[in-house]
Amino acid sequence: MGERSGVISRKCPAKILAEAIIIGLTTLQCVKPDGKISTRNGGFSLGLLKQSAMCGHLAAVISFCRYFDEDVELQQLLDGKISAVNMLELELNDFRSVYQLPEDHWCSATAKDIIASENGTTGLQHQLYDCLIEKDVTAFVEDETVGSVEKARRGALQGTEAGAFLLATPKGDCKFLSKHFQTACLLRLGLPQPFIEPGTKCSCGGVIDAYGHHLARCNRGGERTERHDAIVRTLRQLACRAGIKCSYNPVGCFSNPSTNSDGEVITFGNLRPDLRLFMGGSVVGLKEDNRDVVADVRITDSTGPSQIGKGIPRAEKEKIGKYGLASDANGLVFAPLVIEMLGQFSEKTNHFVNSLVHTLWEKEPELFPESVLLRYWRKRLSSVLQRYNALSLMARYQRATPATNGTDCVFDESRNDNIVAMCNV
């Protein structure tokens, strides 16, 4: 990591520097040489300036990192010597020069004037960039020149829920360790993971690639289950907040047998879904339906070789095959909840989350607007998913490489430095 941090002042306090390098590393690589923010790699939100958290603020600032060489020293910013006006001025300059606007364009106003104006900077980011980004996003999604795997990857990144973790205030379930945030961002951007030495052997015998594809799909270890369970727990918390009694891994849901077309009896043994929502019929959009809902979660990977671009429909079909008949025979409504590893929800998952949030909002409609609640729960689910993605990649790599790196120092960038030599002094 060390050699990439050159743009940022070394005088910065160590902890903040660490955050900055980590976020900077992520964004540095996705800023094109001409200074445009690349949405090609998966889109990095430009809305981060809105966030008050230091972490998000730095990310936004570092998005315009070319200034660090020329105009802005991070230390000055942290000392408060660079004001919001200065930053906005730099941003406006960037906007004008990159996009070569006509001289009388409204954004030729100075930062000071804009801040002093009636609406201030409210919605300014959107005004500046929306029209430009829209084109990029459409081109990104509809690009026919990319291969099927890349196309599937871009598909799996879609939906506001997929990138929601980038905008989450780092608290509670939405708090990442810096290294996990970095890994999650690089995963989203489709860039190599710096902690991986490409070509390293995995504990399963496979070869680990720089992007972590193998690590994401490897069957060794319980990380996949942990990620799945974390998502289930979060959904359960949402259901509980919405006032719906909800049991985790319930037994005895499918005690009634069914019969097939030949009259043979089919029993469902110990089949256990992830969640049972008592009298939750209305949650899946069935008005006046007081049946219980059983839900089962699957995190899928549409970029995997066996299911390129169709992870969601395939997983949904498998889930319905497993639970559909059993649910029918027991008077239950079944909800398959499929989520792409890169963040996109299936339509049914989106509907499930939206309906739970709506139920939650109805309890106390004056407390928060429904849209705020929905954004919050999307961020929370997105953060949990991406945190566990990052965790599992790193844990698997750590397990795979103890012989070469030692279990305690796999992620310690100092292993490339002279620390060992210093110890011998």
Question: Could you list the residues that contact Zn ion (CB under 5 A)?
Answer: 202, 204, 206, 218
Which of residues 218 and 239 has its CB atom nearest to Zn ion in the complex?
Answer: 218
Min. distance of Cβ 40 from Zn ion in angstroms? 29
Residue 289 near residue 130 (C-beta atoms within 8 A)? no
Q: What does the chain come to in residues? A: 425
Which of residues 183 and 383 has its CB atom nearest to Zn ion in the complex?
Answer: 183
CB 205: neighbour CB atoms within 10 A?
8
Min. distance of Cβ 390 from Zn ion in angstroms? 17
Min. distance of Cβ 219 from Zn ion in angstroms? 7
Single out the residue of 267, 270, 268 nearest to residue 249, CA to CA. Answer: 270
Min. distance of Cβ 395 from Zn ion in angstroms? 12
The alpha-carbon radius of gyration of the chain (Å, integer) is: 24
Which of residues 54 and 207 has its CB atom nearest to Zn ion in the complex?
Answer: 207
Min. distance of Cβ 214 from Zn ion in angstroms? 6
Min. distance of Cβ 393 from Zn ion in angstroms? 11
Which of residues 71 and 209 has its CB atom nearest to Zn ion in the complex?
Answer: 209
- Residue 236 burial class via C-beta count within 10 angstroms: exposed 0-12, middle 13-18, buried 19 and up: buried
Min. distance of Cβ 1 from Zn ion in angstroms? 25
Render 327-354 in DSSP notation, one character per residue: HHHTT-EEEEEEEETTSPBPHHHHHHHH
Which of residues 202 and 385 has its CB atom nearest to Zn ion in the complex?
Answer: 202
Q: What angle do CA 342, 372, 169 make, to 5 degrees?
A: 60
Q: State the pairing for strand pair 293-300/275-277.
A: antiparallel
CB 71: neighbour CB atoms within 10 A?
14
Which of residues 54 and 204 has its CB atom nearest to Zn ion in the complex?
Answer: 204
**Alpha-carbon span 215 to 218, nearest angstrom:** 5
Which of residues 9 and 203 has its CB atom nearest to Zn ion in the complex?
Answer: 203
**Alpha-carbon span 162 to 189, nearest angstrom:** 12
- Residue 120 burial class via C-beta count within 10 angstroms: exposed 0-12, middle 13-18, buried 19 and up: exposed
